[in-house]
Structure 1
Amino acid sequence: MRHLNTTVHPDIDHLDDKIIYQRNAARAIVIDGEDILLLYTERYHDYTIPGGGLDDGEDVIAGMVRELEEETGAQNIHSIKPYGIYEEFRPWYKEDADVVHMISYCYTCKIDRQLGETSYEDYEIKNGMKAVWMNIHDAIAHNEKTMAESPKKGMSIERETFLLHLVAKEML
């Protein structure tokens, strides 16, 4: 799979002598015309691509399908194709490591436009997460405004906005 980008959080000046925890994630890029299936999170006031962390030993595509179904209620997931890998090095706030190396495996796929029932985790419900079909250019503009103005923006918005720009450029 091609490498899309690597980012290093500004608080990390080097990786020498750091304990690094690797976390793998899978993300689903679902396009219908200029609409893209996204998750709106009220807490962070942002739009993100569906996906999340893989369970230990879980196949990447199986994890992408699981996350897509849980977070959006997607049905009839098919035509899955590799899109690329996005890497991040971020501070890690648990005792077992200093830095998390997040590797996001991104795939494109097709689904039925009509979404079914979601299966959110407690923190996703508390954060006000909901699946929406949205014009990709509107989502990019929204996220850029949030990055510029919001004190409550999450750390993932830079990744998400980079991916949205790339998808808009390459797939529309």
Structure 2
Amino acid sequence: MRLISCLTHIQPQAEHRIAERIATRAIVLNGEQILLLYTRRYNDYSLPGGGVDDGEALTEALLRELREETGAQQISILAEFGRVDEYRPWYRNDIDVMFMRSYCYLCQITGELGTPQLEDYEQANGMQVQWVNIFEAIAHNQAVMASNAESTGLSIIRETLLLETIARECLTGCVL
């Protein structure tokens, strides 16, 4: 899968303990509307998706995460879109750096969204699925990043980069 970007929030050093996390992200478009997760705690928009479990195929993880976070049941994976690699500071389990690789896929959902099955921390963070105009989501995330709020996390950088890439590539010639 093509590399969209490699984000380096921390430069790994020889003495760092590095862990790897693989994730998938779903891109579901309907014209300029995109299916996103709004998280109240961070005041940001992100693509649905999450971590790949041990022994789980990327596409299996993508479908599982999309069902859990959106309640969608009739999902088709249309195509690979690209991946983003990240080096992030990490402060858990004696790990200094998290190398995260996010695989993104264009998807289609048929029918209505069901009831999401969010994890406890997702519910506590106020996560909710929404159809949003992609350009409004980009502007919103950019404003949050510009505000330098203490609650702003690093994920918003990846998510905004992905939204900008999707808008540029899929709304100016990508056929779904």
TM-score normalised by L of structure 1:
0.95
- Alpha-carbon distance in structure 1 between the residues aligned to 2:77 and 2:99: 29
The answer to whether structure 1 residue 7 and structure 2 residue 7 are counterparts is: yes
SS at match of 1:123: helix
Q: How does 1:14-25 map to 2 (within 5 A)?
A: 14-25=12-23
What is the match of residue 84 of structure 2? 86
Q: Deviations over 1:11-67 (max 9, x none)?
A: x24432322100000000000000000000000000000001111111100000100
Q: How does 1:1-150 map to 2 (within 5 A)?
A: 1-9=1-9, 12-112=10-110, 114-149=112-147, 150=149
Q: Tell me the matched-pair count.
A: 170
SS at match of 1:111: strand
**Residue type matched to 1:20 in 2?**
I
Greater shift, 105-114 or 51-60, is seen at 105-114
**Residue type matched to 2:19 in 1?**
Y
- Alpha-carbon distance in structure 2 between the residues aligned to 1:153 and 1:114: 31
- Alpha-carbon distance in structure 1 between the residues aligned to 2:116 and 2:44: 19
CA 1:125–1:44: 2 relative to 1, 3 Å:
same
**Structure 1 residue 155 displacement after superposition:** 1.4
The answer to whether structure 1 residue 169 and structure 2 residue 168 are counterparts is: yes
SS at match of 2:110: coil
**Structure 1 residue 81 displacement after superposition:** 1.1
Q: How does 1:144-159 map to 2 (within 5 A)?
A: 144-149=142-147, 150-159=149-158
**Residue type matched to 2:108 in 1?**
K
- Alpha-carbon distance in structure 2 between the residues aligned to 1:79 and 1:23: 22
Structure 2: give runs of 5+ residues left out of the alignment.
172-176
What is the match of residue 174 of structure 2? none
Contact preservation (8 Å) 2:23, 2:52: yes
- The Cα RMSD (Å) is 1.1
- Alpha-carbon distance in structure 2 between the residues aligned to 1:24 and 1:166: 20
**Structure 1 residue 76 displacement after superposition:** 1.0
- Alpha-carbon distance in structure 2 between the residues aligned to 1:79 and 1:102: 22
- Alpha-carbon distance in structure 2 between the residues aligned to 1:5 and 1:93: 24
**Residue type matched to 1:40 in 2?**
Y
Contact preservation (8 Å) 2:74, 2:111: no
Greater shift, 91-100 or 114-123, is seen at 91-100
SS at match of 1:153: coil
**Structure 1 residue 85 displacement after superposition:** 1.0
**Residue type matched to 2:106 in 1?**
T
**Structure 1 residue 113 displacement after superposition:** 5.4
Q: Deviations over 1:108-128 (max 9, x none)?
A: 110025211110000000000
- Alpha-carbon distance in structure 1 between the residues aligned to 2:6 and 2:124: 30
Greater shift, 97-106 or 157-166, is seen at 97-106
Structure 1: give runs of 5+ residues left out of the alignment.
none
Greater shift, 56-65 or 111-120, is seen at 111-120
SS at match of 1:77: strand
